[in-house]
Structures are given as structure tokens and as C-alpha cells.
Amino acid sequence: MNPVRQALLAAPLVIAAVMPAFADESSVNQTIDQQLGDHTKYQTVIIALQKAVAAKDAKGVAALVSYPIGVKVNGKETNIKSAAAFEKHYSAIMTPEITKAVNDQKYEDLFVNYQGIMFGDGQVWINGICKDDACKNFDVKVQTIQDGPK
């Protein structure tokens, strides 16, 4: 084979070997499908959560949460039992750090494992809540809201 042609054919392999591997939306979707179930259900909640947090829509965020949920309200561990209680304490629960983690999260950079989908450094986790024994039918909800590592 001609040496120039050989070098040209090898160039993409060299470039691929030295470039970092970036996740993309399809690989995140595949991981969600494999680890948690139907990625479209998760994607819908992720988008809705980010829109509601960006808009400071307490009612919208509250609708995406699984209750009861343990959170900190003004530094005190509190068990929030309803959407109404979440809305009442929204600004104390959704601190600037937590809000930033949700707003800054890029879909293609989501961390996904069998425990759910993580925003930021663990400030928010979402996962499915089974509605039947086989978990074929499930709702996706926010299950954890917490301060990240300091």
C-alpha cells in the first residue's frame, strides 16, 4: 500500500486514540435504558425539572418530587410530606448551590447508575418508583435533594 494512503487511513485512528471520550445523548439514553428503564420517562422529568428550577417554579418542582422526602430547611433536617409543604419551604430547600447544580447539568454529562441519575455532585438524584412488582410500570421522581460536597 502507498505510504501516503496508509498514513491517511491511520490518521483517524490516531486522532480517536488521543481525543478524550465524550458522552453524548444517545450513550446516556442507552445507559438509562440498561440501568433504569425507559429513558424517555427520565428525559421528560430531567427537562421538566431543569425548566421549573430555572423559572423558580416551586409548584412545578414540587410536582416532580417523591414524598415524603428528607431535606435540609435552613440547616435543619426536615421531612417534607407533601407538595404544599415543599412549595412553602422551596427557597430554603432549593439553595443557590442546589439550583446551580440542576441548571448547569448537561444531559450528555449525567451520571447514571442503578441508584438513579445524579445532578451535579449529588445535589439531586432522580429515579423510578415502581408501580407494580415487576417494575414494568414506574414513575420518575426526584428522590434526593441535598447539599453537595464542600
Q: pLDDT digit string (tens) for 84-96?
A: 999 999 999 999 9
Is 95 inside any structural domain?
A: yes
Of 85, 63, 58, the C-alpha closest to 73 is 85
The count of domains in the chain is 1
| 128 in any annotated domain | yes
Classify residue 150: in a domain, yes or no: no
Q: 14: which 3 cell numbers?
A: 490516531
Asked if 105 contacts 119 with a C-beta cutoff of 8 angstroms, the reply is yes
* Domain presence at residue 2: no
Residue 36 lies in a domain: yes
Mean pLDDT along residues 55-77: 96
- Give the global pTM: 0.81
Nearest of 96, 99, 100, 29 to residue 61 by alpha carbon: 99
Euclidean distance between CA atoms 39 and 33, whole angstroms: 5
Q: Which domain holds residue 42?
A: 24-145
Comparing 18-32, 77-91, 96-110, the range with the smallest average pLDDT is: 18-32
